[in-house]
Amino acid sequence: MKNSVKVILGAAALGLLASAASAATLDDVKKKGFVQCGVSTGLAGFSAPNDKGDWTGIDADFCRAVAAAVFGDGTKVKFTPLSAKERFTALQSGEIDVLSRNTTWTINRDTALGLNFVGVTYYDGQGFMINAKKLPGVNSALQLSGAAVCVQSGTTTELNLADYFKANKMEYNPVVFEKLEEVNAAYDAGRCDAYTTDQSGLYGIRLTLGAPDDHVVLPEIISKEPLGPAVRQGDDQWYHIVKWTYFALLSAEELGITQANVDEMKNSGSPEIKRVLGTEADTKIGTDLGVSNDWVVNVVKAVGNYGEMFEKNVGAGSPLKIARGINALWTKGGLQYAPPIR
């Protein structure tokens, strides 16, 4: 009660108008005719506009996958670039339907911020990058005592950085910026000795520096950064659709269903493949979820399976060349595991 009074007082000081009614997210999305997806303002490999202004990256592709599941058409998606600061309010307020913006899953975000993370599309960890040419002899993060460290503000990265240096009883000098491109520019200009963010990000950023070969990523990983898409709390149907889109991508890879062979696979004799692709007789898997029964076919046609998505955006097929590592399927020693679609 007391809290709501404060909210009222706070809100009363400000103001503006418009009007509409609310409904379930799926109905809203269907009525609009597209999925509104929150992405980053530009992080290579995850979500970044290419020269033509099309969004590319693993996070952007995930949005397309959701659109394909709902509409059978991966192009029915609109992207909203969001800063770290705007991302949660944008989701809370209903401005976007899915937040797919290299966002770390934490308990605080699940509980206090009213989000529901659907899974982990990329297992990441925070690392450091330094300019090896300017700092010869530094090959471990533990040698960074006294360094100026560039970091993006308002991220879990900033908190992990503080924890790591405190735990190792080292001093540091945070140089904090609001936007990724500002951090990049400051690091490239030599404002700081080290750059810290998720390791995947470091590899991507390294490519955008003036002289990429001068920079090395240090071996230490100082935190767990499970990155995944999130939706609002309170709409289980929409939560399930987004969550199972992610699992469908994994299952497709596990079953060897690719963008190229998905149509052939529909005629496959394997009951499991038939079930996943919705060609089983009288299947209700898709309609129970609230989408069409051939939703997995649409998803894979739009973006490929998880492995293809990974290779194309961050793996060998991309300039980032990040190894699958722990992002491999569980069958190959990784952590990516999907519950059965049945």
- Contact 231/238 with Cβ under 8 angstroms? yes
Interacting residues with another protein between 93 and 122 (CB under 8 A): 93-95, 111-114
The span of 79-87, 261-269, 270-278, 322-330 binding another protein (CB under 8 A) equals 79-87
> In the structure encoding, which two tokens stand for residue 212, read together?
């990429």
Tell me the CB-side half-sphere exposure of residue 308, using CA atoms within 13 A: 23
Token code pair at residue 127:
């690392």
Q: Which of 62, 117, 122, 172 binds another protein (CB under 8 A)?
A: 172
Give the C-alpha separation, 305 to 253, whole Å: 5
Angle at CA 207, nearest 5°, toward 175 and 50? 105
User: What one-character-per-residue DSSP string does 134-156 give?
Assistant: TSTT--SGGG-TTEEEEEETTSH
Q: Are 175 and 295 a contacting pair, CB within 8 Å?
A: no
Choose, by CB under 8 A, the member of 102, 104, 184, 251 that binds another protein.
184
Shortest Cβ 228–another protein spacing (Å): 18
Which residue among 72, 132, 170, 182 contacts another protein (CB under 8 A)? 182
Q: How many residues does the chain have?
A: 342
Instruction: Please report whether residue 16 would count as binding another protein according to CB under 8 A.
Output: yes
Stretch of residues binding another protein (CB under 8 A), selected from 12-20, 265-273, 286-294, 330-338: 12-20
Site for another protein in 302-331 (CB under 8 A): none
* Pairing between β-strand 194-198 and β-strand 122-131 as defined by DSSP bridges: antiparallel
Taking the complex as a whole, the smallest distance from the CB of residue 88 to another protein amounts, in Å, to 5
Per CB under 8 A, contacts with another protein among 234-253 are 234
How many residues of this chain bind another protein (CB under 8 A)?
89
Site for another protein contains 13 (CB under 8 A): yes
Partners of residue 48 on adjacent β-strands: 56
Asked if 144 is part of the footprint of another protein (rule: CB under 8 A), the reply reads yes
Strand residue runs (E) in 8-90:
35-39, 48-49, 55-56, 77-81
Residue 88 CA to residue 11 CA, distance in Å, equals 18
Is 334 a binding residue for another protein by CB under 8 A? The answer is no
In the complex, the smallest distance separating the C-beta of residue 82 from another protein, rounded to whole angstroms, is 7
Among 30, 34, 73, 86, contact with another protein (rule: CB under 8 A): 86
State the minimum distance, in angstroms, from the CB of residue 113 to another protein. Answer: 5
Q: Does 78 bind another protein (CB under 8 A)?
A: yes
